[in-house]
Structure 1
Amino acid sequence: MIDIRSVDLNLLYVLQVLLEERSVSRTAVRLHLTQPTVSGMLARLRSTFNDPLFVRSSHGLRPTRQAIALGGDLEKIIRDIEALMQPAGFDPRLSTVRFRLSTNDYMQYVFLSPAIRALQSEAPDMQFALMRPEVTGLYDKLVSGDIDLAVTIPEFSDVKLREQLVYSERYVAVVRKNHPALGRKLTLARFLELDHCMVSPADGQFHGPTDLALAQMNKRRRVTVSTSSFFTLIELVSNSDHIAMLPKRLADKFADRLEQMLPPVPVPGFDVILAWHQRSDKDPVRRWLVERLSGFAGSM
């Protein structure tokens, strides 16, 4: 068993960068160290873990199984240490914290992308990793520290998580420019005659909120394409006679390609929330991020 008192925590950070760069020279440049220094630290890591950790290959350093296993926990450990070292009244201008946020492409484009641009004027060295949305395992990912914060909808959250509403969204029906359905009111009958495409966050489902609303009227639509990406849906609608239900804020961004129509069926909108694990309630960095994101959403 390794004696924790004998481990230089700086070595763990070097190991993390080596896993990312797969090169001693690139690691040295990134850490502003000399190559001999990084080579010496790698030698100490090999001694500490009693494993080669990396072997040379034609594509650079190839991590061993143990190095890969260590990498799974390293980033979380380093983030926890960084958070522990942050003073209660931290200065965002000096913060180098890395945040991992789970969200879908619509929320990244409409909300997080402009919000992060605004945040970086206050925290220029803070890093943001925007990761795929977690639909069924959000609680576990937040508990394990694989993600720090989720931008999601209440249906994908968990009662054991902390939540904060950031904004509410509604749906509009969209078709391409010069679509045959334009120029007249979109009736329910015409709506049901058209081929539909939709976004399904997981499992490739062909039913969603619109279908639930139609079921209340004993009606069904014909969904021919289901995709996990809002941008794939936009591309398809822009170049076909399909119709789709799209969040209003996203449809507004593509007014040059899409025409909006009032849906002939009452489809409920949805709330966009921030969700996080309660253990980070006392983290001043997380509090700052939630406060700033909420403030930005209020100005949208």
Structure 2
Amino acid sequence: MNGLSRLDIKQLRILIALIELQSLSRVAKKMGLTQQAISEQLRKLRDTFEDHLFIRQGNKMVPTTKALSLQVPILEVLNKIEDMLAPDEFDPSKFEGIFTISATDYAIHALLPKLMNRIRKDAPGLKIIVRDFESDNVNELLSSGELDLLLSFPEFVPESLPYKKLFDEQHICIASKYSSLLKQNVSLEDIAHSPQVIVSPSRANLRGSLEQWFNRFGLKRNIIMSVPSFSSVPEILHTTDMVAFYPSRLLPNEKVAILDVDELPPPFEVIVGWHPRTSKSKIHQWMINQLECVGSEHSPTGEEAGRAHI
């Protein structure tokens, strides 16, 4: 009996799951099997590939070099099989299911309202669960199937995950609509010396994402407050003398206005990411396409948003 005749699709899925989760018990739970059944399939896989495939280290099953070399080819095979079984046409209006998205605070406000407007029109049977973005275990959540897509920034996405840029975003400097700074041209040095609030969702500290950019001009920011979400910033600025750099797609906001600053930081990318296993999934492709459409929709530029409130 040759090696091919000893393999089946379930074994390939188990091998991929073991590489991703590195735990017999977690793979068993994910696949609805007993741990004993997973162990038996692993024994057969070891015989077929003539390699130990996984070495136990503490509580982990660490993949061997041979196992890792099999990951991409097996994923390609599984994706092709899914393509063969999938309907030729995907009709979102007939789709029924639950989709889980991990999103940053920014993405929740900038993308999800418009996305849900599209979903309610075109895929009324699709239900959405939104989770807080957890950069430390996003790979694990995608691998286990607990997560379908993530909305974030490239620096928070593991290199092993595919992603697509949705659009470029720009930080705009804002202050209370009553701020005295609105009546003058403001230099970057003026902003650096002004009391600032920053958004730091994952790390509670007083160091923002624009520190290196300010350093290029030899400036140190006067950061006096850090908050975990963008939504609170306009309320805080409205009644204080503080300023903040704020994403343009979250403007206009009636509490704040845009400052005429002589320098703005470089734009940053907003992306959607997924697991390689779902690259060919029809519903994933459709959702990514909807997000691209939402991302391409017109959003007020800094100048336009500023005119709306100054």
TM more than 0.5: yes
1:110·1:250 contact (CA, 8 Å) conserved in 2? yes
Q: Distance in 1 between matches of 2:137 and 2:261?
A: 32
Match runs of 1:110-189 below 5 Å: 110-189=110-189
Residue 86 of structure 1 and its aligned partner are, at CA, apart by: 6.8
Structure 1 residues 226 and 88: CA distance shift in structure 2, 3 A? farther
The residue number in structure 2 matching 1:278 is 276
Q: Distance in 2 between matches of 1:150 and 1:119?
A: 17
Q: Distance in 1 between matches of 2:154 and 2:261?
A: 23
| Matched position secondary structure for 2:251 | helix
Letter in 1 for 2:137: G
The residue number in structure 1 matching 2:290 is 292
Structure 1 residue ranges without an equivalent (≥5): 1-68, 78-82
Structure 1 residues 133 and 264: CA distance shift in structure 2, 3 A? farther
What is the aligned-residue RMSD (CA, Å)?
Answer: 2.5
Residue 93 of structure 1 and its aligned partner are, at CA, apart by: 1.3
Q: Does 2:228 correspond to 1:228?
A: yes
Deviations, residues 110-161 of structure 1 (Å, cap 9, x unaligned): 2121111112201001001111112232222211222110011101112211
Deviations, residues 15-36 of structure 1 (Å, cap 9, x unaligned): xxxxxxxxxxxxxxxxxxxxxx
1:152·1:273 contact (CA, 8 Å) conserved in 2? yes
| Matched position secondary structure for 2:121 | coil
Q: Distance in 2 between matches of 1:221 and 1:267?
A: 14
Q: Distance in 1 between matches of 2:139 and 2:260?
A: 36
The residue number in structure 1 matching 2:265 is 267
1:138·1:156 contact (CA, 8 Å) conserved in 2? no
Pairs aligned (count): 223
1:175·1:241 contact (CA, 8 Å) conserved in 2? yes
Letter in 2 for 1:237: L
Q: Does 2:108 correspond to 1:108?
A: yes
The residue number in structure 1 matching 2:194 is 194
1:191·1:264 contact (CA, 8 Å) conserved in 2? no
Structure 1 residues 146 and 233: CA distance shift in structure 2, 3 A? same
Deviations, residues 26-58 of structure 1 (Å, cap 9, x unaligned): xxxxxxxxxxxxxxxxxxxxxxxxxxxxxxxxx
| Matched position secondary structure for 2:292 | helix
Q: Distance in 1 between matches of 2:86 and 2:129?
A: 20
2:150·2:273 contact (CA, 8 Å) conserved in 1? yes
Residue 183 of structure 1 and its aligned partner are, at CA, apart by: 0.3
2:199·2:227 contact (CA, 8 Å) conserved in 1? yes
Q: Distance in 2 between matches of 1:121 and 1:266?
A: 38
Residue 208 of structure 1 and its aligned partner are, at CA, apart by: 2.4
User: Identity over the aligned pairs, expressed in percent?
Assistant: 22
Letter in 1 for 2:292: S
Structure 1 residues 116 and 165: CA distance shift in structure 2, 3 A? same
1:103·1:131 contact (CA, 8 Å) conserved in 2? yes
Q: Distance in 2 between matches of 1:288 and 1:265?
A: 38
| Matched position secondary structure for 1:209 | coil
The residue number in structure 2 matching 1:205 is 205
Match runs of 1:16-165 below 5 Å: 87=87, 89-165=89-165
Structure 1 residues 141 and 206: CA distance shift in structure 2, 3 A? same
| Matched position secondary structure for 2:180 | coil
Structure 2 residue ranges without an equivalent (≥5): 1-24, 33-81, 299-310
Q: Distance in 1 between matches of 2:196 and 2:268?
A: 20
| Matched position secondary structure for 1:98 | strand
Q: Distance in 2 between matches of 1:138 and 1:147?
A: 8
1:174·1:251 contact (CA, 8 Å) conserved in 2? no
Q: Distance in 1 between matches of 2:89 and 2:174?
A: 47
